[in-house]
Amino acid sequence: MRLSVFRSSKNISAQLIDDVKGITVVAASSLEQAIKAKGSNKDGAAAVGKLIAERALKAGKKSVVFDRGRYIFHGRVKALADAARAGGLDF
């Protein structure tokens, strides 16, 4: 399982991908109504991390590989990762 992160100038999203099957298992984004109110800052990224962790655990996935892509591990990307770890994901 791979936890892939995409960051734009205004939003952030994460998806849990099964590369063997080539499918997205769960996804979360700052565009969702439940998270949109938190904004596009670190608080919003942390909310996305918490939500992706909840959805992954509900799907029975706990151990993942964090794929930050070309983004440095700082700011919103770090906030998302820390919240996902706090939510129960192992990476």
Segments making up each domain of the chain, as ranges: 2-86
Does the structure show a pLDDT above 90 at 86? yes
CA within 13 Å, CB half, 51? 22
Spatial distance between the Cα atoms of 29 and 37, rounded to a whole number of angstroms: 12
Confidence of residue 36 (pLDDT cuts 50, 70, 90): confident
Confidence of residue 80 (pLDDT cuts 50, 70, 90): very high
Helix (H, G, I), strand (E, B) or coil at 9: coil
CATH for the stretch 2-86: 3.30.420.100
The answer to whether the Cα torsion of 37, 12, 3, 84 is positive or negative is negative
CB 36 within 8 A of CB 51: no
Residue 39's identity, in one-letter code, is: G
